[in-house]
Structures are given as C-alpha cells and as structure tokens.
Amino acid sequence: MQQLPETLRENVRLLGELLGETIREHEGEERFAKIEDIRQLGKSINQSENEDSSALVEMLGELDDSDILPIVRAFNQFLNLANMADQEYSSSAEAEPEDGLKTMVLDFAETYGKENLLEVMQNLSIELVLTAHPTEVTRRTLIRKYDQIVNTLSDQQRGNLLSFEKDKVVGRLHRLVEEMWSTDEIRGERPTAVDEAKWGFAVIENSLWQALPDFIRHMDRICSRHLGQNLPIDLQPFSFYSWMGGDRDGNPNVTHDVTREVLLLGRWMAAELYLGDVQSLYGDLSMHEASPELREFVGDSETPYRDYLAPLRSQIQATLDWAEASLKGEEPPRPKNLIESRDDLLAPLMVCYRSLKEVGLPHIANGPLLDTIRRVHSFGINLVPLDIRQDGERHVKVMDELTRHLDMGSYFEWSESERQEFLLNHLKDKRPLLPADWPVSDEGREVINTCKVIAGEPRETLSQYIISMAQQPSDVLVVALLLKECGMSWNMPIVPLFETLDDLDRSAEVMELLWQLPWYKEYTGAKQTVMIGYSDSAKDAGKFAATWAQYKSQERLVGLAEKYGIDLILFHGRGGTVGRGGGPVEKAMASQPPGSVKGKIRVTEQGEMIRYKFGLPKVAFSSFSTYVAATLRATMQPHEAPTDEWRDLIERMAQASLEGYRRVVRGHPQFVPYFRSLTPEQELGLLALGSRPAKRKATGGIESLRAIPWVFAWMQVRLNLPAWLGARQALEFALEQAPSTLNDMVDNWPFFSSFLDLLEMVIGKADGPITAYYEKQLVPEELHPLGQQMRADLAALEVLINRIKRQDELFDSDPILRQTLSVRKPYIDPLNYLQAELLKRHRSGKPFSEELERALKVTMAGISAGMRNTG
C-alpha cells in the first residue's frame, strides 16, 4: 500500500505524540493506557482481513462512565490534529512542486495564443459567497488554535533551523496542544447571525486581506513574464460576498435590524483595515519627488505623499468613528466626509500611484500601495457586499395581504398571468401602492422593513436579492415591486433560486418568460444571475437525478441567454459535502456544461469549507490558484456537449435512480421511523449549532428538514445515504441496457467520470458494519429489514463502481486517499461505537449525566472531523 508523504506522516506522528504526552500529564497513566489500548486494537482490526470489531466493542463496553468523556475527547482531538497536518501539507511547496497555474498559462498561450489568454485572464470574475454553516461544530476559540498549529507546522518545515529554534517550535506546538486539551470543544451557546457575520469578517482580516493581493501579484508576474503584458491595475479576479446576516430563508433570527447591524459592522471593519493600510503607507511614502498632479494639492511640501494622504486618513477615521458609535446604538451625526463608495478610497490612492510612476519610482508604486488599491477593488467599503435571501412564499403572502386590504381581491388566488399584469402595471406606475399605514402581519412587516433597510444603504454594500423556491416569473417581479415601493433608487439584481427537481426542469421556461418582458430586460440591463440549488434538489430527487437535472437546467439557460442577448452568470449553491453538491473545485468545474462558465462563475463557500480553503493566507493562496486554473480550463477548453447516445442513456438512468431513491425516502412506510431511530437527527438540538433552525418550519417531517442536517445525520452513522441512494439502480440499468455506451461515458465524458469519482469517495467513507451496529443498538427489530436493504444497496454499489471503473478495489487511482481513510478509521470507529451506546442511554429515559451528554456532543464533533465534513 502506498504510504502517505513523509512530511505529512512525520507531522501526524509528532502531533499524535504531543497529544499523548498531554493526556498522560493531565489524565494519568492509567487512562492514557486505556486510550492506547483502544487505539492499538482499532488499528489491528483495521489491518486484519476479516475486520472483526467484536473485541473493540467489548473493550469499549467495559469502560467506566468516568472514562468515556476523556476517551472521546482524545480521539476527537487526534482527528482534528490530523486535519491540521493535512491542511499544512496541502498548501506546502512539497504538495505542489510546480506552479500549476504557470504551467497552464504556458500551455494555453501556445495552444490558444497569448492575446486570447490575456483577454480571458483580464476579465476573470470568480464570485465567492461566504455563507454560515448550521452544522459547524467547532468553537471559534479552538479554530484559532488550529490555525496557530498549522502555521507552527509550516515554521517547522523551514530549512536550516538551529537546534534551539527547532526546540522552540516543538515547544510551541506542545503548548498549543495543551491549550486545546484544556479547552471545551463544544459551544455552550448558539451563535447569533451577527456572530456568524463577525466570523466571516475575521476570515478576511486574518487571511484574505493578505492572500488576495499576494495572489493577484503572482498572476500579474506570470502574465508579465510569459505573456509579455501586465494585468490591469483594477484587475478583480475574485469578489467576495456574504449571506451572513442577509439569509433570512427559514431563519427568523435574521431580521431587518440584524441586516442593518451586519452592514454597519462591515463598514466599521473595512474602515479599520483600510486605516491600518493607510497608516502604514503614511510611514512608507516619505519621498520628496511628486508629480504636478499631486503637487497641485499639497504645494511645495517636503513630504507630499504624507500630506496628501492625511485627509484620506481623517476620512477613514471619521467613517470608523461613525460606524462604531452607530453600532453602540447612538445616533451620531453623519460626517460630511463619510466614505460611501470605492471611489472615495481609490481616487487619492491612484493619485499617489500615478505620481510615483511618473517620477520614476515604479517599485514603490507597485509595492504595498498597489496591494491596498487591489484590496479596495476586491473588498469595497464593507468587505463583503451582502446578499439578501428570502423564501418566495413570504413575498406572495405580503402581496396577498396588500391586495385584500385595498379591496382588489386575493393575490394568492390570481393566475400567473393576472399576477404578472398587476405587478408590471404597478412597476411602471409612478404613484405609490403601499399605504403609509396598514394592518400588515408581523411576518409581512418584516419583509417590508427589510426592503426599507436595503433601500437606505449605499449601493456598494449590497449585492443581490435571492428568491428561494422561485417557481414563476411573478416571484421575481414581486420583489422588484416591493423594493420600488420601499424607496429603492437603483435596480438591485434579483436572482431566482431553482431548487427542487421540478423547479430545475422548469427554470429555462421561467427565465424565457422573464426575458421576453421588455420592462424586465430593461431593469436588468441584459445581465442576469440564476442560482442553481444543489442541496434541496439532491434531497428531493437523490444525488444522481439531481445532478443530471442541474446539468440540463444550465445547458438550457445558457442557450436561452445567447438567444436573448443576456449576459448570464450561473450561481452554484454548492454545499461542503458531495451529497450537497460539494467536492473538489477541479472536478466541479470540469463537469460544467460547455459554455456555462466563460470566465465567470459564482459559488457559495460554506462554514467549514471557508475554514479549510481560506482560513490561512497560504491555504487561501493555494485555493485561489486552483479556482483560477479550473475557471481558465472550463472557459478555454470546454468539453464537448454529450452525444445523443449519452444523453438518452443518462436520461433513463436518472429516471431509474429517481424511482429508486423516492421508493425508499418517500414510498417506504418505515423510512421516517428508521431514519429517526438510527441517526442522531433528534439529538442535533443538543449542539449549539448555527443561528438557523434545523427545519424551515417548526412543524413538519423530513420534507421540512434542511438539507444540511439531513446530510449531517446520515454522515454520523457512516451510511452517507443522501450522496448515493438511487445510484445503484442507475448503474445497473446502464450495464443491462447499454454497457458499451456506459463505458464510452466513463472514458470520454468528464461530467460523468467526475460524478463517479465523487460517488466512489462517499462510498469509501461509508461503513456498513458501523451502521449495522447503530441499527442493532437503536432501531426496533421490525425496521431492520429496511436497513439491511440499504446496506446491501451500498455493498452492491461498491461492486458496480469497481466494475465500471475497471479496478480491483476502491481508490485504485488514488492510493493516497485510500491510505488517508485507513489511517483515520481506527480513530473514528471507537467514536461511532461510543456514540451509539450514548444515544441508546440518552433515549432510555434513565438519568443521563452532564458529562455523558458532553461526551455525546464530542462524538458528533469527532466523527465530523474524521470524515472531513459535516453538512
């Protein structure tokens, strides 16, 4: 079996030893020995041929209650430390000995010409939307310690360290591990929406603020050296947006007051960061030579740049003071020099930049000053312009209340054509429609108040208004009318989100009706973003059928956009897990329909994935490189459209998969009780997770459960059901009906081969015997046949994957991943067995101590860490 890279193995070994020493010091030799016995037994079981876990179950069953919490904490912390070693290695020079982006640029320049490549690179637009994570388990305090450990591991890799320096690094690691061990892993209080937004701002401050200008400088250097031209100074390959504080879909905790506060926080944080930059520039730009343009402002000053930057520094300080006082609930007077747009920051910085270039100081011009200019272009005046998201049903209810109040009938009962006619008439009418005072419900008033907050904010602080569960053109038009009536002075982009299978199938029809409306085309300026929902479509139809529906929807939307002359951006609502559309960026981009990228893409990055991809500057730099390379490839080397044979076969495969999925999830009378008894779905409430409730509605069954906790629950018991259920029926159908076409798809269609790779990964992370143990402990015997059926499906699917990929076992083409999973298994398995036992006790109705409840929560965190995903 291929071994993990030497550096990675050494780091895992070192962190494991430091954790062991810490446990021995704090918990005593006897308890440490128990942990070691469990670890060694798990390891030997994993390496044996029959993998009989009965001895491990027996050993765990003999533990005293007082031992359980320290033991689950030990395994949880080891898995977190392994993740840190992975994170450090994946962003290291050793993991990527050559610059993949430079290699691609050289290749593409030769193939497509330097000018064509330059044009694409100059117009790249990769929009990353930061969203909160309702199943982010780890406390922020510990996340900061994890980051420090990764940075310290990086320090250790530096060559030529003296002996005392090496000891110092190891000592610091030991201290951080001890700090981890002495800190409670589980949050005691649920974070608010504002807390989540603060965490998003912290990622920018601690990582992206430095990583982004570093990366753009790197891109510029590549283009200068290998394409013969620098990139423009206003290059903005990445833009960041946020849902934190703006996403009110099913989250009553996000109110108009919360949105206002988060917008203020963004302006305060941005002002603080820009003030730091300008203070630093004030110190750096001490030179005397200046251009006539700059001299016109400062005269014959000895320090012209400092004198010129002084008013900007005062302006930023005034903005900072105003935002801070406003956040405290005061009502400070609005400063005359308040920063309201990027130009307020850019104009003086650009005068300095041009002056330095003009007087022959280009290296100074292109130093930190250029970094600050690029930050302004990328982060604007509030770091992350806010998206507003609301369920489309809420707008319908508001309009129904209004039409009833005005004795115009029931908007709810009107046909789609009647709704459109009403909305368009009032959108064109200059007279107000909303009464100054009317008996609107609390829910309706919140919608109206949100629109009023949006209308009162500077344009640059906001991005788009997203409508969840969009189903008709009127769902878009009604938002435009509500915004108009609340005083909106600019045309905020309105983005329909198509989520269920039916909505995806109808998405092109809905957009064509909208694009045929002259009023709407004028409103949009022929620019449109459409959001494709991954999470809810997979929950609705199963992963296979949903993935094909997403592909078809994008294909049709791209074709229609070309027909109507629309500049279309597809917004991918991808979650962290494969079951919610997640997975490696390269595979995701390679599987997009041809023509759907064109140098522009918008993607959600969620909670834990923000941490894994962007939490540290070096990691963020690597992620930027991956995104740019993948976007360039998808733009310049789009794959051919599927052949008619492929299209016909996958359509029938998707139907077989849909029937197989829904036959279990919707059709099997025992599925809901099986799910609720097997998984810790009900116990999720013990965890102080995100600000958003686990369900969209307080009442309702699985259909109302959000896709994230749905995936989280199945992942905990190692079945990973949402990511593969229904795939067996699809693959069996293809093997029976058209095996040669299936082989052709595997070999020549990246969309399909990428899907199989992701399917292989989730199957490899699943563990049927572990799930069977949960079933034995927690599920009534009469429900066991359903579990046996699902595990048989999983086992059969593994055989099918290996057969179709023409390999002997999973991960033949990725032995490193196989080894990684194998290394983690002895640490995850004991957490699963103990979690099943703790769930059984918790549900028994007998006394359950606070210590055991905490142990149950830690098992959830540990399994999440071991599987490298939550929801």
Q: Which residues of 453-470 are buried (b: 16+ CB within 10 A; e: fewer)?
A: bbbebbebbbbbbbbbbb
Query: Quick count: other Cβ atoms within 10 Å of Cβ 89?
Result: 21
pLDDT of residue 48: 79
The full DSSP string for 291-312 is: -HHHHHHH-S-SSHHHHHHHHH
Of 635, 431, 392, 672, residue with least CA distance to 533: 392
E strand segments, 701-854: none
Element (H, E) at 174: helix 163-181
pLDDT 10s digits, 449-473: 999 999 999 999 999 999 999 999 9
What percentage of the chain exceeds 90 in pLDDT? 73
Residue 577 clears pLDDT 70, i.e. is over it: no
What lies within 8 Å, CB to CB, of 754 at 6+ separation is 583, 587, 588, 590, 591
Q: Which tokens is 763 given?
A: 């199957």
pLDDT in tens, 189-205: 778 889 888 888 989 99
- Judged by average pLDDT, the poorest of 299-313, 315-329, 574-588, 845-859 is 574-588
Backbone angles phi, psi at 278, to 5 degrees: -70, -35
pLDDT in tens, 148-177: 998 899 888 777 778 888 899 999 999 999
CA dist 478 → 164, 256, 306, 529, 711 (Å) = 68, 19, 51, 17, 33
What integer is the mean pLDDT of 92-108? Answer: 75
Q: What is the mean pLDDT of residues 339-355?
A: 97
Position 581 scores a pLDDT of: 45
What confidence score (pLDDT) does residue 96 get? 57
Tell me the one-letter amino acid at 355.
S
Q: List C-alpha distances in Å: 595 to 507, 553, 563, 564, 635.
A: 18, 13, 13, 15, 7
- The one-character DSSP state at 332 is P
Cα 260 from Cα 327, distance rounded (Å) = 10
pLDDT at position 166, please?
Answer: 86
What's residue 579's pLDDT? Answer: 42
∠ CA 14-871-745, rounded to 5°? 95
pLDDT of residue 715: 93
**pLDDT at residue number 328:** 94
| The pLDDT value given to residue 342 | 96
Are residues 603 and 576 in contact, defined by beta-carbon separation less than 8 angstroms?
Answer: no
- Structure confidence at residue 871 (pLDDT): 40
Give the pLDDT confidence score for residue 746 in this predicted structure.
96
What gap in Å lies between CA 235 and CA 120, rounded to an integer?
12
Q: Quick one: what percent of the chain has pLDDT higher than 70?
A: 94
Longest dimension (CA), the chain: 91
Handedness of CA 535, 537, 541, 544 (dihedral sign): negative
Quick one: 87 exposed, middle or buried, by C-beta within 10 A (0-12, 13-18, 19+)?
A: buried
pLDDT at res. 582:
47
pLDDT of residue 175: 96
Catalytic residue, candidates 539, 543, 598, 857: 539
Written in H, E and C, the secondary structure of 484-522 is HHCCCCCCCCEEEEECCHHHHHHHHHHHHHHHCCHHHHH
User: Which of the following is catalytic: 34, 133, 543, 825?
Assistant: 133
The answer to whether 336 is a known catalytic residue is: no
- Residue 837: what pLDDT? 93
What does the alpha-carbon distance between residue 110 and residue 339 come to, in Å, rounded to a whole number?
45
Q: What is the pLDDT of residues 519-538, one digit of tens each?
A: 999 999 999 999 998 878 88
Burial class (CB in 10 A: 0-12, 13-18, 19+), 114: middle
Cα dihedral sign, 321-327-331-333: positive
For residues 44-65, give the mean pLDDT: 87
Active site residue 133: yes
User: 0.85 cut: is pTM over it?
Assistant: yes
Distance separating alpha carbons of residues 835 and 717, to the nearest angstrom: 9
End-to-end CA distance of the chain: 31
* SS3 at position 633: helix
Identify the burial level of 743 via C-beta atoms within 10 angstroms of its C-beta, where 0-12 means exposed, 13-18 middle and 19 or more buried.
middle
Q: What is the pLDDT, as a whole number, of residue 185?
A: 82
The span from the CA of 515 to the CA of 324, in Å, is 43
The model's pLDDT over 831-860, given as tens digits with 9 standing for 90+, comes to: 999 999 999 999 998 889 999 999 999 999
Write the DSSP symbol of residue 230: P
Q: What is the pLDDT of residues 760-775, one digit of tens each?
A: 999 999 999 999 999 9
What torsion, rounded to 10 degrees, do the Cα atoms 749, 752, 756, 758 define? 110
Average of per-residue pLDDT across 135-159: 79
pLDDT of residue 47: 81
| Over residues 361-385, mean pLDDT | 97
Residue 60: pLDDT above 50? yes
β-sheet bridge partners, residue 601: 126
Which of 563, 566, 583 is CA-nearest to residue 522? 566
pLDDT bracket for residue 695 (50, 70, 90): low
CA distance 829 to 597: 41
- pLDDT at res. 869: 54
